[in-house]
Amino acid sequence: MKRTVRIMATFAGLAVFGIALHFVGQATTEEVPQSQLVSPNQAKAEKKKEVANKKPTRKQAKLEDPFPDIQLPVYPSALKVNNFIPGDMNNTKVLTYELKIPYPGIREQVPAKEVIKFYDEELVRDGWVHTEESPHPKARWDKYRLRSGRKDGATEERRFGKAWVSKDGNRLFLLFLRYTWGYSAGWSDLQIYSHITLNIDSSAMIEFMDEMQKEQKWHIFYPLLEKYMNDDSEIDFERALKENPDNKDLLEYQKIHNEMISQIVEKGGRL
């Protein structure tokens, strides 16, 4: 099996597992026989034919809505609404937008409480149940310091995250609210990110990645995975293990990966 599982990356600080492929061309000084030389027009025609016949990758293809029966709630007066299916995540539907709701003053303790209340009412009415089970967010506002040099000049961030699961436990709804602040720009508008996905237990994968980071092994393991990935970030485990039979980390990763794949199939997801 060559499939690999991607863990959704959000600005709320959940575990991130994204794969980017980089192709580097190498020059050659080998002489090409005269019989193999082709004219520029021939080369152009062959290239055009190759591109036309090449199957689009999953990231390039337009994916169907994995949850056509569910509409993600949108708070009234929303701006810059963007509803989409991520090209590299088969079982996720995303909605982002902004609201002209200012960050509260000192007296008001809970930012955007009307937005949080709106989502609570909408989701509970549809049968969703709030959860704070790890690794899901704890339904609270947290403060973070941002890296310097950002284009928007922001230096601080306030984040709120909350999670709900469907009645049958197969689906997960995540909501994140975000404000940023900078000396020159002040407070940003309220940014909303929500998505629905399969409720997959990713704790083993998160623990594995955390351990790799702590042991400073990720910078070695990541290029190894990358070596056996195709354009859709699918890993050829058969070849990887054949060429690295004694790599215990690779074996452990495959085990966790297969368990997550089994969960996706069991809950009616797409591979």
Q: Is the pLDDT of residue 47 over 60?
A: no
Taking the C-alpha atoms of residue 91 and residue 124, their distance in angstroms, rounded to an integer, is: 22
Instruction: Specify whether 191 is located in the same domain as 230.
Output: no
Sort 200 into a burial class: Cβ within 10 Å, 0-12 / 13-18 / 19+: buried
Q: Is the pLDDT of residue 260 over 50?
A: yes
Out of 166, 198, 230, a domain closes at 198
Taking the C-alpha atoms of residue 119 and residue 121, their distance in angstroms, rounded to an integer, is: 5
Q: Residue 75 in contact with residue 112, Cβ under 8 Å?
A: no
Q: Is the pLDDT of residue 231 over 60?
A: yes
Residue 183: predicted pLDDT: 84
Taking the C-alpha atoms of residue 249 and residue 271, their distance in angstroms, rounded to an integer, is: 23
| pLDDT average, residue stretch 257-270 | 90
Residue 210 CA: distances (Å) to CA of 57, 77, 95, 133, 154: 30, 40, 28, 18, 28
Q: Is the pLDDT of residue 13 over 90?
A: no
Q: Please, which pLDDT band fits residue 159 given cuts at 50, 70 and 90?
A: very high
| 200: its two tokens | 């997959």
Which helix H or strand E contains 212, and what residues bound it?
helix 203-214
Count of the separate structural domains present in the chain: 2
Instruction: Specify whether 128 is located in the same domain as 170.
Output: yes
Q: What is the pLDDT of residues 179-224, one digit of tens each?
A: 999 888 889 999 999 999 999 998 899 999 999 999 999 999 999 9
In order, the DSSP letters of 45-110 are HHHHHHHHHSPPPTTTSPPPPS-TT------TT-EEEEEE--TT-TTEEEEEEEE--PPP-SS--S
Out of 141, 167, 198, a domain closes at 198
Taking the C-alpha atoms of residue 173 and residue 167, their distance in angstroms, rounded to an integer, is: 12
Instruction: Specify whether 182 is located in the same domain as 229.
Output: no
Taking the C-alpha atoms of residue 175 and residue 119, their distance in angstroms, rounded to an integer, is: 8
Q: Is the pLDDT of residue 263 over 50?
A: yes
Instruction: Specify whether 185 is located in the same domain as 120.
Output: yes
Residue 108: predicted pLDDT: 62
Q: What is the pLDDT of residues 110-141, one digit of tens each?
A: 899 999 999 999 999 999 999 998 788 999 99
Q: Residue 89 in contact with residue 154, Cβ under 8 Å?
A: no
Q: Is the pLDDT of residue 239 over 80?
A: yes
Residue 45: predicted pLDDT: 59
Residue 89: predicted pLDDT: 72
Instruction: Specify whether 194 is located in the same domain as 95.
Output: yes
Q: Is the pLDDT of residue 153 over 80?
A: no
Q: What is the pLDDT of residues 57-102, one digit of tens each?
A: 555 455 788 999 999 999 999 999 999 988 767 789 999 999 999 9
Q: What is the pLDDT of residues 25-45, one digit of tens each?
A: 222 233 334 444 444 555 555
Instruction: Specify whether 174 is located in the same domain as 105.
Output: yes
Enter the DSSP assignment of 140: S
Q: Please, which pLDDT band fits residue 53 given cuts at 50, 70 and 90?
A: low
Which helix H or strand E contains 234, and what residues bound it?
none
Residue 226 CA: distances (Å) to CA of 109, 113, 242: 46, 43, 16
Instruction: Specify whether 228 is located in the same domain as 131.
Output: no
Q: Please, which pLDDT band fits residue 150 given cuts at 50, 70 and 90?
A: confident
Residue 172: predicted pLDDT: 95
* Residue 227 belongs to a domain: yes
Instruction: Specify whether 194 is located in the same domain as 234.
Output: no
Q: Residue 114 in contact with residue 211, Cβ under 8 Å?
A: no
Of 264, 263, 240, whose CA–CA distance to 252 is shortest? 240
Domain region containing 151:
79-198
